[in-house]
């Protein structure tokens, strides 16, 4: 096994590219698996070619493997050849709305693709940390059963047990997940099982709104990035239900990469962490409108649909107690305000560079 190779799936995406850059700065040789499937799922607006090219420019030694993670033989061959020091799995079909229209593609990518990578890791580099990007959708809509109180611009938990957010031992069954949530839960459990059953250093990171300036946000995935783009293009953003007061916590991609580094240095077996911005970096859609307007100076247009998205959370933010206790050297460095400022600047640059 090479002690210097890192394999990142979904390397052209927001989180994958950020992790590649971070580990490159630590002196590792970076290999990525990415076949731009996001453009297939979401069309031209989801295309990540621009970010792939950015990555190749920043890391001249970067090696891209244009493999579909559903291709079991290709995944096995790639991992056998590389025998990386870590596998960081960020590739996925990420939209719970889209999953209902492509159930086979969704499950084969999220569950089957993860199993392909896990088995490849077990066969060829079982001692290398396997870091899987799961999702808070594994909890389904069960967080909606927590009593809530309605404030002027947001919903808030009205149960002191959840004052700090949703913990990792929150129940995951007997609720509606969306097909996406179900396929991601299947992969989440499988990653845990490979850790427990085979003693491998595996980790599930149950993220929510992972964001940052290099996100290719679309309506079905990438809440803040898509909102910023709508604002700058003076297009209406559609709010689905809950009066626009639904709450999400948001974490910058650099803070995500920094945690992956901490886990890589001191891996644990079959661990699960809620990786988000916590209450301090949470906002409702209404609050996000006001923050983006303040940064860009452009009024936010919007339309409203009474029908909420199936399985959508009314209020969700991560309880970061466990992750901070296990890794006290890690904490959030990016505020929500700073993240939004970077996203506005990034989208302004991209939109100005696009042909009219």
Instruction: Say what the pLDDT of residue 328 is.
Output: 98
Instruction: Say what the pLDDT of residue 180 is.
Output: 94
For residue 71, being part of any structural domain is answered with yes
Instruction: Say what the pLDDT of residue 2 is.
Output: 55
For residue 322, being part of any structural domain is answered with yes
pLDDT tens for residues 104-161?
999 999 999 999 999 999 999 999 999 999 999 999 999 999 999 999 999 999 999 9
Closest to 329 measured CA to CA, from 285, 276, 264: 264
The CATH code of the domain that includes 124 is 3.40.50.720
For residue 135, being part of any structural domain is answered with yes
> Angle formed by the axes of helices 336-353 and 285-296, to 10°?
60
In what helix (H) or strand (E) does residue 178 lie, and over which residues does it extend?
helix 178-198
pLDDT tens for residues 5-56?
999 999 999 999 999 999 999 999 999 999 998 888 888 878 889 889 999 9
Instruction: Say what the pLDDT of residue 1 is.
Output: 46
- Separation CA 58–CA 102 (nearest Å): 35
For residue 41, being part of any structural domain is answered with yes
- Separation CA 50–CA 18 (nearest Å): 14
For residue 63, being part of any structural domain is answered with yes
Q: Report, as an integer, the average pLDDT of 95-109.
A: 93
Instruction: Say what the pLDDT of residue 96 is.
Output: 80
Lowest average pLDDT, out of 21-35, 168-182, 203-217, goes to 203-217
How many structural domains does the chain have? 1
* Average pLDDT of the residues of the chain: 94
For residue 34, being part of any structural domain is answered with yes
Instruction: Say what the pLDDT of residue 189 is.
Output: 98
Q: Report, as an integer, the average pLDDT of 95-107.
A: 92
Given the structure tokens 């990034």, which residue do they identify? 346
- Separation CA 315–CA 144 (nearest Å): 7
Domain housing 178? 5-147+163-216+250-282+317-335
- Separation CA 130–CA 151 (nearest Å): 41
- Separation CA 282–CA 209 (nearest Å): 10
In what helix (H) or strand (E) does residue 351 lie, and over which residues does it extend?
helix 336-353
Q: Is the pLDDT of residue 79 over 50?
A: yes
Q: Report, as an integer, the average pLDDT of 306-316.
A: 90
For residue 223, being part of any structural domain is answered with no
Contacts 24+ apart (CB under 8 A), 105-109: 105/41, 106/179, 106/180, 106/183, 107/179, 107/182, 107/183, 107/186, 108/70, 109/37, 109/69, 109/70, 109/183
Please give the sequence-ordered ranges of beta strands (E in DSSP) within the chain, or none if there are none. 5-9, 29-33, 63-65, 86-89, 130-135, 148-150, 155-157, 202-207, 209-211, 237-240, 247-252, 271-275, 282-284, 302-305
Q: Is 19 helix (H, G, I), strand (E, B) or coil?
A: helix
For residue 156, being part of any structural domain is answered with no
DSSP state of 242: G
Q: Is the pLDDT of residue 76 over 60?
A: yes
Q: Report, as an integer, the average pLDDT of 224-232.
A: 94
Instruction: List Cβ neighbours of 25 (8 Å cut-off, separation of 6 or more).
Output: none
């Amino acid at each position: 096994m090479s002690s210097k190779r890192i394999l990142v799936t979904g390397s052209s995406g927001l989180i994958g590219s950020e992790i590649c850059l971070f580990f490159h700065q630590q002196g590792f040789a970076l290999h990525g698996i990415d076949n731009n499937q996001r453009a297939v799922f979401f069309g031209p607006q989801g295309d990540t070619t621009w970010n792939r090219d950015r990555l190749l420019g920043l890391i001249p030694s970067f090696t891209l493997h244009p493999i579909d993670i559903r291709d079991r033989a290709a995944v096995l061959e790639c991992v056998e050849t590389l025998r990386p020091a870590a596998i960081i799995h960020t590739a996925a079909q990420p939209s719970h709305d889209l999953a209902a229209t492509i159930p086979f593609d969704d499950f084969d990518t999220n569950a089957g693709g993860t199993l392909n990578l896990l088995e490849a890791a077990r066969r060829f580099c079982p001692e290398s940390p396997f870091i899987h990007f799961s999702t808070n959708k594994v909890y389904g809509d069960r967080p909606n059963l927590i009593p809530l109180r309605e404030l002027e611009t947001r919903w808030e938990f009205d149960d002191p047990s959840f004052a700090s957010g949703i913990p990792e031992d929150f129940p995951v069954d007997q609720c509606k997940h969306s097909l996406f949530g179900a396929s991601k839960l299947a992969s989440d459990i499988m990653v845990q099982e490979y850790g427990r059953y085979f003693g491998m250093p595996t980790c599930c990171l149950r993220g929510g709104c992972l964001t940052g300036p290099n996100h290719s946000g679309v309506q079905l995935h990438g809440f803040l990035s898509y909102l910023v783009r709508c604002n700058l293009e003076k297009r209406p953003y559609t709010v689905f239900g809950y009066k626009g007061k639904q709450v999400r916590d948001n974490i910058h991609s650099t803070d995500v990469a920094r945690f992956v580094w901490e886990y890589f240095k001191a891996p644990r077996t079959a661990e699960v962490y809620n990786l988000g911005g916590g209450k301090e970096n949470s906002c409702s859609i209404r609050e996000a409108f006001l923050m983006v307007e303040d940064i860009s100076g452009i009024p936010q247009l919007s339309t409203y649909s009474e029908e909420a998205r199936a399985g959508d959370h009314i209020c969700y933010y991560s309880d970061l107690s466990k992750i901070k206790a296990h890794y006290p050297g890690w904490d959030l460095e990016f505020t929500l305000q700073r993240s939004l400022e970077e996203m506005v600047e990034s989208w302004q640059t991209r939109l100005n560079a696009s042909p009219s």
